[in-house]
A and B are shown apart, each in its own frame.
Chain A
Amino acid sequence: GAVVSQHPSRVICKSGTSVKIECRSLDFQATTMFWYRQFPKQSLMLMATSNEGSKATYEQGVEKDKFLINHASLTLSTLTVTSAHPEDSSFYICSALDGLALSYEQYFGPGTRLTVT
């Protein structure tokens, strides 16, 4: 089956620093990738949708200058949390759509736990 990886799985950073999270589709080409944020015991909140080679589309209320998304290739999307603060601590999850499959299934990564101290 389709596999999506994320790196790192956990990261701890100091307030004010930037953190990059990678999302890779390992065995398929992902024309569209999604980034979600999940707080403890809550549902997934869509942050942005990225299409390969174009600018990401951010959901209302998500700061595009704070959460930089790059989808430079069909297998890689990155989320950079700039000038991170403790309130950015969360579980970040990416998902990807197989651009060649006649399917609407999103394949989810294992998530990245970000802790900002």
Chain B
Amino acid sequence: QQQVKQSPQSLIVQKGGISIINCAYENTAFDYFPWYQQFPGKGPALLIAIRPDVSEKKEGRFTISFNKSAKQFSLHIMDSQPGDSATYFCAALKTSYDKVIFGPGTSLSVIP
């Protein structure tokens, strides 16, 4: 059972454009939603995270939008750069339980 869905599977964006990745979850007990960035051959790194009591969080060029009623959240990368080319994973967890549930991932390519 896939508890966190993610789309698109792959995304090509021109340099300077906006990259948008969407995720949806099923378990309403989740209370923490991180996004991870992973480069080939490396471990994932936390990019930005949000709790469900906040509808939006921005850190630099990265913004999470959160819709609790729809059980959806999304990552927006503004002014996308070739260096942003990586695989992005949304995730969800119950903070009382620690186990992170990852989405299937989105491969982002930013072309010049």
B98 neighbours in A (Cβ, 8 Å): 32, 49, 97, 104, 106
Neighbouring B residues of A107 by C-beta, 8 Å = 46
Measured as residues with beta carbon below 8 angstroms from the partner, the interface class of chain A is: 20 to 34
- Which of these, B43, B49, B105, B107, contacts A108 with CB under 8 Å? B43
Which stretch from A37-45, A64-72, A73-81, A82-90 is at the chain B interface? Answer: A37-45
B64 nearest CB across to chain A (Å): 15
- Asked whether A44 lies within 8 Å of B46 as measured between CB atoms, the reply is no
Residues of chain A contacted by B95 (CB below 8 angstroms): 104
B32 contacts the other chain (CB 8 A): yes
Are A93 and B93 in touch, CB under 8 angstroms? no
Complex Cα gap A86–B42 (Å): 22
In this complex, how many residues of chain B approach chain A with their Cβ under 8 Å: the count is: 21
User: A108 near B100 (CB under 8 angstroms)?
Assistant: no
Which of A34, A43, A107, A110 gathers most chain B CB within 10 Å? A43
B44 and A49: CB pair below 8 A?
no
Q: Chain B's nearest CB lies how many Å from the CB of A99? A: 11
Interface residues of A in 95-109 (CB under 8 A from B): 95, 97, 104-109
CB A80 to nearest CB in B, in angstroms, measures: 20
Question: Quick one: which of B44, B46, B89, B103 has the most chain A CB within 10 A?
Answer: B44
Chain A to chain B contacts (Cβ below 8 Å), 9 pairs: A4-B43, A43-B89, A44-B44, A93-B44, A106-B46, A108-B44, A110-B43, A111-B43, A113-B41
What 9 pairs between A and B have smallest CB-CB spacing?
A108-B43, A43-B102, A111-B43, A104-B95, A110-B43, A43-B104, A93-B43, A44-B102, A43-B105
Interface positions of B (Cβ within 8 A of A)? 32, 34, 36, 41-46, 49, 89, 93, 95, 98-100, 102-105, 107
